[in-house]
Amino acid sequence: GEPVFTQKGKNHAVFELPSRFFDERYQPIGAEIQNRFSDDAGERIPVRDIQPPNLNHIGFEQLGKQDNFTLFIPKHRKLASALSDIFLKARDIDHLQSLAVYARDRVNPQLFNYALSVALLHRPDTKDLDLPLYIESFPGKFLDSRSFVQAREEATVVPQGSRRPIVIPRDYTGSDLDPEHRLWYFREDLGINLHHWHWHLVYPFEASDINIVRKDRRGELFYYMHQQIIARYNFERFSNHLSRVVPLSNIRAPIPEGYFSKLDSLVASRAWPGRISNATLSDINRRADEIQLNLSTLERWRDRFLDAIAQMAVTTSSGQRIVLDEVKGIDILGDMMESSILNPNPDYYGDLHNMLHMVLSYQHDPDHRHLESFSVIGESSVAMRDPVFYRLHQYVDDIFQQFMEKLTPYTAQQLTYPGITITGLQIQTENVKTNVLNTFWRQSDINLAKGMDFVPRGDIFARVTHLQHSPYTINIQVNNSSGASRLGMVRVFMAPKYDERGQQFSFREYRRFMIEMDKFVANLRPGQNTLKRRSIQSTLTIPYERTFRNLDARPTGSGEDAYNFCGCGWPQHMLIPKGTPQGLPCVLFVMISDYEQDRINQDLAGTCNDAAIFCGIRDRFYPDKRTMGFPFDRVNRRGAETLQTFLTPNMGIADISIVFKDYIPSSIPLN
Ligand code: CUO
């Protein structure tokens, strides 16, 4: 089939609806409406007439057209499951198209977008289609609300082609009075928020079909991806002279970090609620959302969780005991914590992480007396903007780490790769001193046209400022004395050299500050080898063009790229933390392990596999047998209390520094 969900050509396409698809009110004038909208259409898409599905249990009665939607609310999850189920069960693509067209104006638009995205991602016959670019559908979740007023004005007055981009101010959500505001470029980054939204779309925690949830090591990946976000956030904090994140260990204590997103829900023309400094949480009782939850319940779930870790075993709903071992333990705990429908005992261990998001998101209106909706921490595409996100996930990670710290440390022998020795390691940025990385600002454009209703139509761009680094190459010198060719799994990490007080880290602490940069397979010939690896090759990231879709270079509407399916992945422009003007001292770490022991045998042809570290590979196993984060997943063996003493011959470190320059270069080499 034809890619029915993408807009083709310069002009917009129009669906030709069967008359019974029109709302009752419009049915008598259906043909007239159809003609009015088809006049200037570049393409008419016939929609097969089907018996309309019953949407009463999903429609506006359940979730209003202008209401905000989030998976953190159990009721919303049920609606999403029910609607994606309808889409998933469609007999073929034409049937799916009819169902989608029919549902489009009868269910909440965010709910519709989510449910259709899940279906398109998981149906065998739609896997190769583009998803609508989320930021273009819902630009209000990513950009300053004032920019839309300006965009409407520009679009009304200026014809397409002569329109100027709306420049979004560099930091508009707070002032220097709030030290947390220094992290705006990370928390409010488009690519980071898109990655987080994509991740949760690819790894939903609930679905009517359990196989959509049961993806390889998804609980472990929930733990690891968020652990790495915290490690990266702390790296950025050190770059801005801030101490590490304080975990939200006590949900009764006031929360010093307030946040006001300045985002607008375009659908409802409502601002997202904010949270004042030193706010306190309370029990939630909101009948309209079908939520009643006490803080003491969260504390009880936490105690049971910690108890399971103390016993290194969980009890299932049917009373069975599952031991938490080194292989599956963290995966089970991840599903239990989030929690997903794979939680072995939801009544007992509860839904700790999701409900923490929810309690925080209703801080301003716990009993719904003000008829206010949830704040940004309650929705995955905007949650990372709020400083409290990091306090929540630091707390969650502290719990996971209680488990990781109980596992037996690796021996030196387990970490060694016999015959393989790293003899040298450098990082090279073009025209810059060896072992120095550069960061600076860059401006990129986003098209607002699809997500806004205005006449006359046509492209209108918002211009955002974001962090960017110069491309670099990592050079690794490796000696292979084994006498034969070997395959190595090269694992690249980086961390700040010192803690916030300028002290050296102990290994036990340091392992949690390591950010994974890249992981790849290398062929090691007998004798001396030099491995060269470029920053844009990183298997952590998706290319810049996939975040911004290279809008300056792409002709309007030529949406033939398969970018969005592979949309999950850390954005390349945020690979390197910001650093400091003086140069932030850091340590680069490389380990080469034996690929023959780490490999997963599977066919990777034709899949999105370029950002596997955080996102896995679609329809495949996670492509590394080791626990995620290896070799920093466990505490050190005795005698290896520092990073230096932890090293085995197949590991290497280099002192590097990250220099930030506060300017926007006029031209940027990207490769
Ligand atoms: Cu991604 Cu808490 O799981 O936001």
Ligand 1 nearest-atom number relative to CA 384 = 4
E strand or H helix at 249? none
- CB of 196 within 6 A of ligand 1: the answer is yes
Are 40 and 592 in contact, with CB atoms under 8 Å apart? Answer: no
Ligand 1 nearest-atom number relative to CA 338 = 3
- Distance separating alpha carbons of residues 114 and 122, to the nearest angstrom: 12
Q: Which of 386, 393, 396, 399 to mutate to test the pocket of ligand 1 (most atoms within 8 A of CB)?
A: 393
380 CA to centre of ligand 1 in angstroms: 7
Tens digits of per-residue pLDDT, 124-151? 998 777 777 788 788 888 888 788 878 8
CB burial of 464-497 (b: ≥16 within 10 Å; e: otherwise) equals: bbbbbbbbbebbbebbbeeeeebebbbbbbbbbb
Nearest residue (by CA) to ligand 1, atom 4, is 380
339 CA to centre of ligand 1 in angstroms: 11
Ligand 1 nearest-atom number relative to CA 353 = 2
What pLDDT sits at residue 551? Answer: 43
- Distance separating alpha carbons of residues 431 and 191, to the nearest angstrom: 28
Poorest-confidence range of 60-64, 249-253, 388-392, 557-561? 557-561
615 CA to centre of ligand 1 in angstroms: 14
Domains of the chain by range and CATH? 13-125 (1.20.1370.10), 179-404 (1.10.1280.10), 412-449+460-660 (2.60.40.1520)
Residue 231 CA to chain centroid, in angstroms? 15
Whether the pLDDT of residue 3 is over 70: the answer is: no
CB burial of 376-395 (b: ≥16 within 10 Å; e: otherwise) equals: bbbbbbbbbbbbbbbbbbbb
Question: Mean pLDDT in the chain?
Answer: 90
Whether the pLDDT of residue 74 is over 80: the answer is: yes
Q: Per the structure block, which two tokens stand in for 48?
A: 């097969």
162 CA to centre of ligand 1 in angstroms: 41
Ligand 1 nearest-atom number relative to CA 356 = 2
What pLDDT sits at residue 552? Answer: 41
What pLDDT sits at residue 566? Answer: 67
pLDDT band at 453 (very low <50, low <70, confident <90, very high): low
187 CA to centre of ligand 1 in angstroms: 13
Tens digits of per-residue pLDDT, 321-354? 999 999 999 999 999 999 999 999 999 999 999 9
pLDDT band at 82 (very low <50, low <70, confident <90, very high): very high
Nearest residue to 196 via CA among 154, 235, 225: 225
- CB of 141 within 6 A of ligand 1: the answer is no
- CB of 383 within 6 A of ligand 1: the answer is yes
Poorest-confidence range of 252-266, 373-387, 420-434, 554-568? 554-568
170 CA to centre of ligand 1 in angstroms: 26
Q: Which of 380, 390, 391 to mutate to test the pocket of ligand 1 (most atoms within 8 A of CB)?
A: 380
Q: Per the structure block, which two tokens stand in for 153?
A: 């004005």
pLDDT band at 561 (very low <50, low <70, confident <90, very high): very low
- Distance separating alpha carbons of residues 153 and 165, to the nearest angstrom: 12
Express as a percent the part of the chain with pLDDT over 90: 70
Whether the pLDDT of residue 7 is over 80: the answer is: no
- CB of 302 within 6 A of ligand 1: the answer is no
What pLDDT sits at residue 563? Answer: 46
E strand or H helix at 314? strand 313-315
ipTM higher than the 0.95 cut: yes
**Catalytic residue IDs:** 338
Tens digits of per-residue pLDDT, 96-125? 999 999 999 899 999 999 999 999 988 999
What pLDDT sits at residue 583? Answer: 98
Residue 616 burial (CB count, 10 A): 25
What pLDDT sits at residue 285? Answer: 97
- CB of 357 within 6 A of ligand 1: the answer is yes
What pLDDT sits at residue 266? Answer: 58
What pLDDT sits at residue 462? Answer: 86
Ligand 1 nearest-atom number relative to CA 357 = 2
Ligand 1 nearest-atom number relative to CA 354 = 2
What pLDDT sits at residue 36? Answer: 77
Express as a percent the part of the chain with pLDDT over 70: 93
Q: Are strands 541-542 and 570-571 parallel, antiparallel or unpaired?
A: parallel
447 CA to centre of ligand 1 in angstroms: 27
- Reported pTM: 0.93
